[in-house]
Homo-oligomer: A and B are copies of this chain.
């Protein structure tokens, strides 16, 4: 027969799971939230959560609506010369934000700044999914890793705000290489240099 277009039943289930996941990740944090807990809250079988979203990591990425998969991006940034990781991180970040998905990234960031639940989700995402893994790969001293991660987050978030949200000139319109030359060394020091 005719095409049915979107399937309302499945779409509703998917949305219920996402809503339950958002609440669980925001309330309990990434580590303590579980697929079982989220499924119970959405009134579905855990197998259905796996069916729609894959594992907990993938569900989390879907929940936060971040338009990239860190599992693909991080190895490119932290692999290679350790002394150039700051530069590669800034280059990768600009690549995402200057691309069409940059609009989604800006929306996620705006909502995190005005919505406490989204703020918690984004914090969890940045810390657990992105920076903690990068730190491990870079063999950063575990005692210093959390502070280093939050310093990186501060400069990257500020760059996003100045270049893409509030559009502070000339930072908003200079070529990527200018940004990389200026901010790459900051990220490099926060990751591997002296900070005390």
Contact = CB atoms under 8 A, between A and B. Distances in A.
B196 A171 contact: no
A117 to B, nearest CB: 12
Name the prevailing secondary structure of the A interface residues: helix
- Each complex incorporates copies of this chain amounting to 2
27 contacts: A110-B113, A113-B113, A113-B161, A119-B165, A119-B166, A119-B167, A122-B166, A126-B168, A127-B168, A146-B170, A147-B170, A147-B182, A150-B169, A150-B171, A151-B171, A153-B168, A154-B158, A154-B161, A154-B162, A154-B168, A157-B158, A157-B161, A158-B159, A158-B161, A181-B196, A185-B189, A186-B186
A195 interface: yes
A36 to B, nearest CB: 27
Contacts of A151: 171, 182-183
